Structure 1
């Protein structure tokens, strides 16, 4: 089989070592004679995997004791509704910082449930930047303040998170969780779909502060309450067992790499290779994000013309580069350099970008 360089935006690359371990255990997990997909979620063999994944995430991310780790279903998109259902009561406001399409979608769902506001937005700049503290507009009755930490479509990322004192700060970290160190105590709730940095699609991780579990949710369906899942250790109903097994394998791999600090160092090195190719191209490649808002996870850029974009992408496909097309809403090119994307893939892309520019630059 031909090797490829996988820059897919999600579902995205998984560590080769993780895939190989899963392959080796696929039909006989832990000597059970069964696949982990066939085990009861109440069995001791599966519960050990489940608990280990929780413990590893707490260890790797330095999650304080006053937080619970939950495994949920419905993707991060279901969190767009679960959050206002829990916390957006009459007389309060869900306040959203808009930095891209996913924060817009979160706001849209909250509007269905209660009163909302926009604390800040960079939409008028086509989401090329991240708002600063001077831009924020808060309300004394904010139920929470919501942000999206990394914007896959536009290639921007929060470099520093705001300190919010009057309401819980909630973050959708679907596309950059575990890619860098984070001060968990700045947040009341962090949630993330697994399919970028944590594993395959099918499981959503939530990290929630204990006091937020006490929200009055009598009118919220049982399965949509965070407390339901916290009280049952995320075993209230059948969890996505294989996705959690893979999550556990990925977390094990992160620990073997040296933890989040080493992963962050590697991610900066990978991203720099590609951003340097953009910055040193004399305008042949044009990055979408402003430099002080650039994402380590999603690097977005355009060539001089749309025809150039198409030719660049067509040749890249021939050379084994996968997933470099920009999102359909903005076009251009995008390299998603998530944790599992190896350094050599980014080196190869840098070399391709340089050689393509040299062969096509206009005199």
Structure 2
């Protein structure tokens, strides 16, 4: 079929191209106007240099040799460290687990939460107990468990359980992050597989282990996409620095390319993000599944601990796997 070009058609096409170019320039401008906030700049400075860290461990593993992928770290009131993480085992499925440590380098696995559990997140409930969330398969969804105390957590004895329905995607919702526990209400973040195609961000609230509400977080998506990320936007972790809330979040530059994962510091106030240029000892270039925690380091000093998973596709020799490092504050 032959299409005749007319002045009106040419004008329409020209305007459409100009609008697309302007949108791309504005999006890029968001990323090029300096730090998103003082908090993101400080987080980028602390998290960006592994070589200057006060302590670090590449390819973190528990005492049995299991990899501690996507590890998130917390600290108990008595000073011990807790890690929740997952490992792909010989049964072909991920297993989430919890481990303890006294030095952030050596970890004793205490409980395996079973096959089909991964991307775990842990939080104190303010009453001596813990809330745990993880992605669960089949039919990938967010599962939440409550434990009365530390002993119950380490034994895997949950007294409350909730498996969330899929409300934003019929295919998958997961990679949860517990942001707060306030009485009977748990606030979480996560991702959903938008159009069963690409991971995008969500916020959710669980009330009384009965009522679940989830909604898209398009503002966070936009902030990461402004850096040209064309793939998934997944795991994220908040931290308060100098009275400012900052979120460390992962974004994939190119779909299906594990070597293109990068990390960003997002400022919820401005809705903008800074890209982190992470420097490791060997020069790894891909970083995923960020976590960040304020704690007391093994020498008793306040510190910021960062966790990053280094995919093999973007790793330097000896650096693939879970990286843990901390800077004294």
Pairwise TM-score range, normalised by the shorter structure: under 0.3
TM-score by length of 2: 0.27
Q: Which has the higher contact order (CA 8 A, sep 6+)?
A: 1
TM-score by length of 1: 0.25
